[in-house]
Every structure is written in structure tokens, then in C-alpha cells.
Amino acid sequence: MSYTEQMENAVSAFRALLKEQLDRTEKMKNAAPAVDYAKKEHIRIGICGGDGIGPIIVREAQRVLSFLLQEEIEKGRIELFEIEGLTIENRLEKKEPVPSDVLAAIKTCDVLLKGPTTTPKGGTMESANVALRRELDLYANVRPVVVAEEGIDWIFYRENTEGEYVLGSRGIEIEGALAMDFKVTTDLGTRRIARAAFEYAKNNGKKNVAIVTKANIMKKTDGNFTAICHEVAKEYPDITAEDWYIDIMAANLVNPAIRSRFEVFVLPNLYGDIITDEAAQIQGGVGTAGSANVGDAYAMFEAVHGSAPRMIEEGIGEYANPSSILKAVEMLLRHIALADKADKLASAMQICGETEKKVVVTGDKNGATCKEYADYVMETLQKIS
Ligand code: NAD
């Protein structure tokens, strides 16, 4: 095909994208208000194992969750609902990032505990996470990072449904000449993530929100993101809103002289993706961080790390660290208004992972297995109850 023909095709593809994105903002206008879990009579928690080490860590997280929620499960207020089929094999066979029957099952749940899912390299198969974030409109990726002894108490509000990711498989190519991907920032999409970050700051006594972009270069998308965050900030006069560029913020996080002054971060999708892994590493590695993907109707909780396929290939999957998915369980409990249970789990994890350390997971055969660590957490939970 000639360059001219390819350009014409690209322009039509772009027109369709614009229309689609405008339709998405229309849907956002009609979104239902957030669920009040404290008042909800029945809560269904979906459980998806995922790929690689996913089923191993999720199995242990489910045991801990059942243990903590024993009474609520017996009374029928809470139901744990296992969902099969969110596997790379099934996704490739069905040629869908989340097969439609799996998505339908997920949509019968209120919240989801999900193991990491493998994304095939290259090709056009979208990541299951990107698809789930879009389908369930999980617009806020919330990741806390705490290193108490260094005065670090950060929480990241990463925009989850826009930026480079929403159109990541929809780029255009003029064969042999160029390739172009797209990034989108909508007003409503930015406003709701900004509000989530400032509301968190207000409700938790935080005084500083860092707005992190590359607005000096990405003038339209990041420029609008920054401007809208500042508009929202005006409604929170007790909170300081500061602009930072992502490059210097990446440096700030490893600078002990200033990093403890940051509290809440609000960022577009790609920067949030990168910097939250950096922050997790400062906390002790991606195995130690939890992640919540929150929308108004649904929420999904998972580990920050991926499916660690190499651990499976090397036959050491059973030695995977469940700390990250257990942090996700803690966040899930908080989200469904069971803060007392979440606090209990947080205390047990603090004892197991920081103060006592009687059982240590190293990610290889020199350490404990995932199951041994979960047993240790449950024994500790019993002692502190
Ligand atoms: P990864 O997080 O799977 O692995 C990075 C390193 O951390 C590896 O050395 C791995 O062995 C180690 N590791 C990860 N989790 C661990 C645990 N619980 N205990 C001990 N060690 C652990 O990252 P990757 O290799 O870049 O990605 C593998 C696959 O996971 C890819 O297909 C990627 O797309 C996918 N992924 C999924 C998610 C998700 O579903 N949320 C997130 C990130 C990556």
C-alpha cells in the first residue's frame, strides 16, 4: 500500500478513536455514585488466580481472607466466589484479553482479588488488567508505600483508565516509515482522580499533594491534567498542591534528604506505573506492595508484581512471596468498610515481616514457602485476636 493510502487509513482510524473517546466521556457523566459498603447487606468477593505464581499466592491470600472473614462468611454477609478462566491459555484461545464469560462472572462481584496475569509480548493482545480497568471503570490505582523508620508514608493515586494505556493497542503504522501511539487525557477522567487524591488527603490529615507530570513537554495532555488538578485543589484550601516533573520526582524518591516530605501523589497513568514500582522497591521490593484499582461501582485488589514466569520455569513458584497480595487483601478489607479486620491483618504482617521475622520468604529454596508464610500470618492473627 502506498504512503498516501496508509495515511488515509490512519486518519480514518484516528477519527474513530476520537469518537470513541468522546463517547467514553459521555458515559462518565452518567456514572452511578460510589457504593457504600458499610450499608451493603451482601458483598461478593471474586477470586481470580491469574497466571504464573498467581494461583499460588492467591490460594494463600484466600486462606487468610477466609480465616479473617469466617464469621461474615458463615452468616452469609460475605461470599468468596472463585472465578476460573482468567488465564493466558484461555485468553489466547478466546482471543480476548478478558474472555466474555469471565468478565460476566467478574461483574456479578462487588470487589475482586486478582492474581497477576501474563501479557503476551508483542502482538496486539491487550493486557487483562488494562481491559479490566476499562470494563469496570477502575479509574484510580491506589498504592500505599510505608517505610516507618525513614519517615516515608506515601500514597500514590495513579490515573488508571487513560493516558497511553487506553489506546496502547490502537496505534498507527506507516509500514517501513513510522509508528505512532496515542495518549488521551479527558477533563472528567482527570477531575475524578484528582478528587480521589484530594479527598484522601483531606480525610487522612495530609497537607501536601504532589501533581506529577511532564507538562513541560506533553503540553496538551499533561498540561490539562495539571490545570484540572489545580482547579480541584482550590476546593481544598488547607492542602498544598505542588507541581513536579516526573524525572525530578524519580530522583526525589531516592533522595533521603527530601523524600519524607511527600505525602499524596496524583499522576497520569504511565508515570504512575513507573514510579510506583520505584517506590515499592524503596519499601523492600515489588513483593511487598499492594495495589487497589478503584472505581465507583467495582474495585480490584492485586499484588504490584507480575506473574514471575521464571519462578515457575525454575520450579520455585511455591517459594513466591505472598506479602504483596496480602497487602492487597488488607486494602480490600478497608475498601469494604471492615477496617478492624484490615488493621488486624496489618498488625500481623508487621509482626511477621518486620518485628519477629520467624519465617522469612526469599523467593528461592533458601527461604520459606508461600504456604509456610501464610500459616505464620494466620498463627499470628490468632495470637493477636
Ligand atoms: P514480575 O513482577 O513478574 O517479576 C520481576 C522480578 O520479581 C522477577 O525476578 C520475579 O521472579 C520477582 N518476583 C515477582 N513477584 C515475586 C514474588 N511474589 N515473590 C518473589 N519474587 C517475585 O515482572 P515481569 O517479569 O516484568 O513480568 C512477568 C509477567 O507479569 C509479564 O507478562 C507482565 O506483563 C505481567 N505483569 C502483570 C501484572 C499484573 O497482572 N498486575 C503486573 C506486572 C507484570
User: For residues 193 and 191, what is the distance between their CA atoms, to the nearest angstrom?
Assistant: 6
Q: What is the pLDDT of residue 75?
A: 97
Q: What pLDDT does 286 receive? A: 67
Query: What's the rounded mean pLDDT across residues 330-349?
Result: 92
CB 311, CB 156: distance < 8 Å:
no
Pocket of ligand 1 contains residue 367 by CB under 6 Å: no
In the predicted structure, residue 194 carries a pLDDT above the cut 90: yes
CA of 305 to the centre of ligand 1 (A): 4
**Contact status, residue 302 vs residue 116, Cβ threshold 8 Å:** yes
Mean of pLDDT values over 107-119? 97
Candidate from 269, 307, 326 with most ligand 1 atoms within 8 A of CB, to mutate = 307
Average of per-residue pLDDT across 25-48: 91
Distance 114 CA to ligand 1 centre (A): 14
Q: Is any atom of ligand 1 closer than 6 Å to the C-beta of 78?
A: no
For residue 165, give every residue at least 6 positions away whose Cβ sits within 8 Å of its Cβ, in sequence order, or none: 130, 133, 269, 270
Indicate if ligand 1 lies below 6 Å from the C-beta of 307: yes
- The percent of residues in the chain predicted with pLDDT above 70, rounded, is 99
Q: What is this structure's pTM?
A: 0.84
Spacing, Cα 308 to ligand 1 middle (Å): 4
**Minimum mean pLDDT range among 136-145, 249-258, 282-291, 304-313:** 282-291
**Is 369's C-beta closer than 6 angstroms to any atom of ligand 1?**
no
Protein residue with least CA distance to atom 7, ligand 1: 308
At 377 the pLDDT is 98
Instruction: Report the separation in Å between the CA atom of 117 and the middle of ligand 1, taken as the mean of its atom positions.
Output: 9
Domain spans of the chain, in order of start:
31-138+295-385
Question: Mean pLDDT, to the nearest integer, of 136-142?
Answer: 93
Q: Is the pLDDT of residue 126 over 90?
A: no
Mean pLDDT (whole number) for 9-15: 93
Q: Which of 102-111, 113-122, 233-242 has the lowest mean pLDDT?
A: 113-122
Residue range 89-104: average pLDDT?
96
Q: Residue 116 CA: which ligand 1 atom is closest?
A: 40
Give the per-residue pLDDT at 121: 82
* pLDDT for the residue numbered 123: 67
Residue 314 Cα, ligand 1 centroid: separation in angstroms?
14
Q: How far is ligand 1, taken at its centre, from the CA of residue 159, in Å?
A: 21
Identity (one letter) of the amino acid at 159?
A: E
**Which residue minimizes the CA distance to atom 39 of ligand 1?**
116
Residue-wise pLDDT tens digits, 199-225: 889 988 899 999 999 999 999 999 999
The CATH classification number of 31-138+295-385 equals 3.40.718.10
DSSP per-residue codes, 261-288: G--EEEE-HHHHHHHHHHHHHHHT-GGG
Q: Using one digit for the tens of pLDDT, what is the confidence trace for 265-306?
A: 999 999 999 999 899 899 887 667 788 999 989 999 999 889
**Residue 240: beta bridge partners?**
208
Average the pLDDT over 253-264 and give the result. 97
Amino acid 36: pLDDT = 87
Q: Which residue's C-alpha comes closest to atom 13 of ligand 1?
A: 308
CA separation for the pair 214, 119 (Å, rounded): 27
CA dist 352 and 364 (Å) reads: 18
Task: Say if CB 333 and CB 345 are below 8 A apart.
Answer: yes
Give SS3 for 166: coil
* pLDDT average, residue stretch 107-113: 98
Mean model confidence pLDDT for the chain: 94
| Maximum separation of any 2 CA atoms in the chain, in Å | 72
For residues 331-336, give the mean pLDDT: 92
Return the C-alpha cell found at 321: 512471596
Distance 318 CA to ligand 1 centre (A): 14
